[in-house]
Amino acid sequence: MNHASQQGTKLEDNVAQTALTTTTETNASGMAAMAQAEVLARYTMADRRPREWLNVHQRVLADCSRPTFAKAARYRKPVGQGIFGPSIRFAESCLRNAGNMSCEGKPSSEDRYKRVVVVTVTDYETNAVFSAPVTIPKTVERQDAKGREVLSQRMNSQNRPVFTVEATEDEILNTQNALISKTMRTLILRMIPADIIEDGQARCIAVQEDADAKDPQTAVRELAANFLRFGVTAAQLAEYLGHTLEAVSRAELIDLRAVGAAIADNETTWAATVAERRSGTDGTPKADAPKTDDEKEADLNARIDAAKRKQQIQGVSVHIANAKFAKDSPHLARVRERYNAKKAELDKPKPAGEPASAPAAASPAAQALDTEATALARDQAEYEAHLAENGGREPGEEG
């Protein structure tokens, strides 16, 4: 190849490279201009057609009045006595009916083990923006790693190996959709007034109760068919309830529908729901079970006693430790109230003309209140003095 041919080839390569660079820059500029025009159009429409929250409220209630939607608008997670809340479907209804809002998920970064997507909800009327990153793992744990690339291994509670393997595209997509949907729900509901959410959820419960009262047998059949989609049979539902499906109550129907909505939204699984139910019926109290006032006061006293022992070991005044833990105690606040009320009653002047009576001996209960209130005042004074002497440092933090 002669010199002229080489120069011609180099010139063609330079022209091709320049054309490619120009095309890339043109595409990037075009996409940026398109995105800018889209955002500008949204703000323009929001300015021309502002929302009325009263209309939004009515439209959301109209959605919640449809029996099929009402059944999918609430979820229940098996935590403690159960956590209820608006489902993803309910949040989508609020977003659609509110208007002048957008909810988007844009990729942020990605490597071999994870993908990060930033979810953003924008209100074009108020310029309020809420966003949150969502990390999607690109690995899954499996007990059978046959045909999969193993990244790591551990032993589970049954002393069996569990393998961390690379997830398939379908597994990554399912996980991504579930995590992004839950994040979107959280961000959307932050934009919606609380009264709309509460009224909508209440309407969903009322609609379900009304439909169940009119045709309970159809409600039971629909419930069983819905759970069958998740592989849960009617026999398993009966075992969960502790009685036959024919004897299910309206409250149990609503509860099970919320569980089904949570499973559909990937909030929980049937196995987790059953495990939480059993933890409350086999003699083991649930972690979040409600306690009586006496039980709460007993727990508080136990915490105070434990703090006293800890502070004694550290060489700090027991009274200071008591005041530190008890200064915000509802129990000791009630002690103050009872003491002050009793004191006001005893100090109340007698009506004119009524003979004065000899002071009655204080009852053991009154003496106990007096002693406790006096000790509290002393502890509080010592605690505040300790803070003043040590630059605001709590007991045990002086060093």
Residue 318 falls within a domain, yes or no? yes
Q: Given this model, what pLDDT does residue 315 score?
A: 42
Q: What are the E-state strand segments in 304-377?
A: none
Q: In this predicted model, what pLDDT tens digit does every residue of 129-144 receive, in sequence order?
A: 999 999 999 998 888 8
Residue 242 belongs to some domain of the structure:
no
* pLDDT for the residue numbered 288: 46
Report the C-alpha dihedral over residues 161, 164, 167, 172, rounded to 10 degrees.
110
Q: Is there a domain that residue 337 lies in?
A: yes
Instruction: List the pLDDT tens digit at each of the 399 positions of the chain.
Output: 555 555 555 555 565 565 555 556 667 777 778 878 888 888 888 888 999 999 999 999 999 999 989 988 988 877 666 778 899 999 999 999 998 999 999 999 988 889 999 999 999 999 999 999 999 999 988 888 788 888 888 888 778 888 888 888 898 998 898 899 999 999 999 999 999 999 999 999 999 888 888 888 888 888 888 888 888 888 888 888 888 888 888 888 888 888 888 888 777 888 888 887 776 543 344 444 455 555 556 666 666 566 555 544 444 444 444 554 455 555 556 656 666 666 666 666 666 555 555 444 555 555 666 666 666 666 666 666 666 676 666 655 555
pLDDT score of 330: 55
- Strand ranges for the chain from DSSP E: 74-77, 83-86, 101-110, 114-123, 128-137, 139-142, 150-155, 161-166
pLDDT at 204: 92
pLDDT at 158: 79
Render pLDDT for 201-221 as a digit per residue (tens, 0 to 9). Answer: 999 999 988 888 888 888 888
Q: 3-class SS at 274?
A: helix
Contact 100, 49 (CB under 8 A): yes
Inside any domain, residue 338: yes
Which one, of 77, 71, 67, 91, lies nearest residue 257 by Cα?
71
| Rounded Cα gap, residues 55 and 59, in angstroms | 6
| Residue 329 covered by a domain | yes
End-to-end CA gap in the chain: 84
* Cα 177 to Cα 93, 107, 136, 170, 184, distances in angstroms: 18, 13, 9, 11, 10
pLDDT of residue 338: 64
Query: 259 φ, ψ to 5°?
Result: -65, -45
Residue 241 falls inside a structural domain: no
Question: What SS3 state is found at 92?
Answer: helix
| Radius of gyration in angstroms for the set of CA atoms belonging to the chain, rounded to a whole number | 33
Decide if 373 is inside a domain: yes
| Selection from 328, 341, 398 nearest residue 369 by Cα | 341
Determine the pLDDT at residue 130. 93
According to the model, what pLDDT value does residue 216 have? 84
Three-state DSSP at 125 gives coil
Angle at 122 between CA 121 and CA 126, to 5 degrees: 140
Query: pLDDT tens digit string along 78-104?
Result: 766 677 889 999 999 999 999 899 999
The 3-state DSSP class for residue 164 equals: strand
Query: For residue 307, what are the domain limits?
Result: 293-347+362-389
Cα dihedral angle (144, 150, 156, 161), rounded to 10 degrees?
60
Does 164 map to a domain? no
Number of domains in the chain: 1
- Find tokens 């995105």 and name the residue: 35
